[in-house]
Structures are given as structure tokens and as C-alpha cells.
Chains A and B, each alone.
Chain A
Amino acid sequence: MAVTDRISGKDVYVIFNGTVLDADFTSVKVSEEGDQIDVTAADEESHYYVGIRKDGTVDMELFYNAGTAQTEFDAVAVNNAGTLTIGPKGTTSTYPKLEWTRALVKTRELDFPFDAEAKLTVSFQCSSALSRGSF
């Protein structure tokens, strides 16, 4: 059967707090993890864990463009909070959508290597549950 649903990152759409961030991005990474408690009884041979709270981060790297309007840079000031939406395949109707109703900018970094393009890196701390829907 032909694979027709595999995608690359070329169509990724990212909007944070009303500002679209994907015009010149190089990568987006979504990470989730859970806190786990070891509730193993004393006589059990293997550990037994229970999952409790969930946590998530979204890391994004963009080319830093030194235009007069620093739209992306300004939008991701540290501690800015807002809705973070990712469209893995773009925003066409029925395409998948990942959304956190609240996320905060945890870190914002600029990197200016002498021999390559300048990059802006931002890390979002998710502060709500991830909802998976569609556009």
C-alpha cells in the first residue's frame, strides 16, 4: 500500500499568542513527559510505577532576520504567555492541529556563529493539557 500520510516539516504552521512564527523556521520539537511514582511493594520483583502529572515543552529554532520589524523576536519574550498552536501539515481544513491553551516562553536564545546564519531559539513551557484536533 502506498504511504500517503507521511509528512516532513516543510508545511508546519506555528502560531503563539497571535503571532505566526513559522515563516523562516528550521525545526520544531514537541516533547511530553509524565511524573511517575514508584509504588512497588516490598516483595515485588519488578518496579511498579503510577503516572500522575503530565508536562510538555515545545522547542523551536528560527533564522534570526535583522529586519526593522522584529515580530518573531518580540513575540517570544521570556515569560510571554498565550495559546500555542501547531499545524504539523499546515492549516487546511481537516488537517491535524495540536494546541495548548496556555504556554509560556521559558527561554529565548540568539546564536550568531561567524561562519553561518544567525538563529533564534525559543523554548515554550506548556502550561495546559495538549488537545489534538483538526483545523
Chain B
Amino acid sequence: MNANDPGSALYAKLIAGTALTAEIGGTRIYLEQPPQSGTLPYVLVSRVTGSDMYGSPRRVRRYIYAVKAVTMDDLTKAEDIDDELDTMLYDSTLTVTGWGTYWLRRNTDIAYQEAGEGGVVYHHRGALYELRLSK
């Protein structure tokens, strides 16, 4: 498994979600880095940590992914997208070749604002999701 495969699997799952893309108003879902001139709103999927869990002879990988919506001057939209992300990801499974998903759960909320040029406010809403894969 390539270290980026779980992120790609998350991306593939989200991009296939019609309710999510309808909420975003397009397919603006990005893995690791949004484009510099990214239109808002968008969803960003980024790996925070990845580690092996040495509990038994079977190999287990544990990942933390940040999955969040970013909007401009629209907190409600950010929260609605976050709700849809939660619906799609909580206790769901991912397709990662050679590995089985046995844990995908929301751990910690992401909720903050940042001020932009011209007085705009960017809203970040989402969560850290914990993913466990076993061979």
C-alpha cells in the first residue's frame, strides 16, 4: 500500500457522493492541497498522521485525516457540508487494495474562522477522522 492510498480512497468516496457535491455546488474536493485560486466552497482531505499499531502479527495501520469544508462568509454552508461529510464517512468502509477497513470514525471537530482580505471571513468546519486498516 502506498502511504497516500487511504487518502485517495477517502477522496474517491467523497467525490462519488452526489449529495455532497450538490451541497458544495461542484466537485471541488481536494486531496492534501487546494488550488491557489480555489473557488469556494470546497472540501479538503489531508493526512495528519499515519502509524503502525503493533498489537499482533497482523499488520494494522492507523491514520488520522482532516476532512473539512472551507467557505467564505457562509458559516451555515460550512456546517451543512460538514454534516454531509459526517454522514458519508462515519462508520463507513473504504476500498484500499489488500487492506480491510475496520474503523472509520469521527474523533475531533475542526471549527475555526480566519479573516481574509477585504473583511471576508473564511469558515473551516469538519473533523479529524480516525481510520484503521488491517491486512
Chain A interface (Cβ within 8 Å of chain B)? 10, 22-26, 62-63, 117
Residues of A within 8 A of B2 (CB): none
A32 to chain B, nearest CB (A): 25
A-B contact count (CB 8 A): 18
B37 to chain A, nearest CB (A): 42
Interface of A is mostly: mixed
Chain B interface (Cβ within 8 Å of chain A)? 54-58, 102
| 5 smallest beta-carbon distances between A and B, as pairs | A24-B56, A24-B58, A26-B56, A26-B55, A63-B56
Q: A10-B57, A22-B57, A117-B102 are in contact. List 15 more A-B contacts (CB 8 A).
A: A10-B54, A23-B57, A23-B58, A24-B56, A24-B57, A24-B58, A25-B56, A25-B57, A26-B55, A26-B56, A62-B56, A63-B55, A63-B56, A63-B58, A117-B55
B10 to chain A, nearest CB (A): 22
A125 to chain B, nearest CB (A): 24
Residues of B within 8 A of A24 (CB): 56-58
Residues of A within 8 A of B54 (CB): 10
13 contacts between A and B (CB under 8 A): A10-B54, A10-B57, A22-B57, A23-B58, A24-B57, A25-B56, A25-B57, A62-B56, A63-B55, A63-B56, A63-B58, A117-B55, A117-B102
- Among B55, B56, B58, B102, chain A packs the most CB atoms within 10 A around the CB of B56
A74 to chain B, nearest CB (A): 19
A13 to chain B, nearest CB (A): 10
Please, which residue of chain A has its CB at the minimum distance from the CB of B55?
A26
Residues of A within 8 A of B57 (CB): 10, 22-25
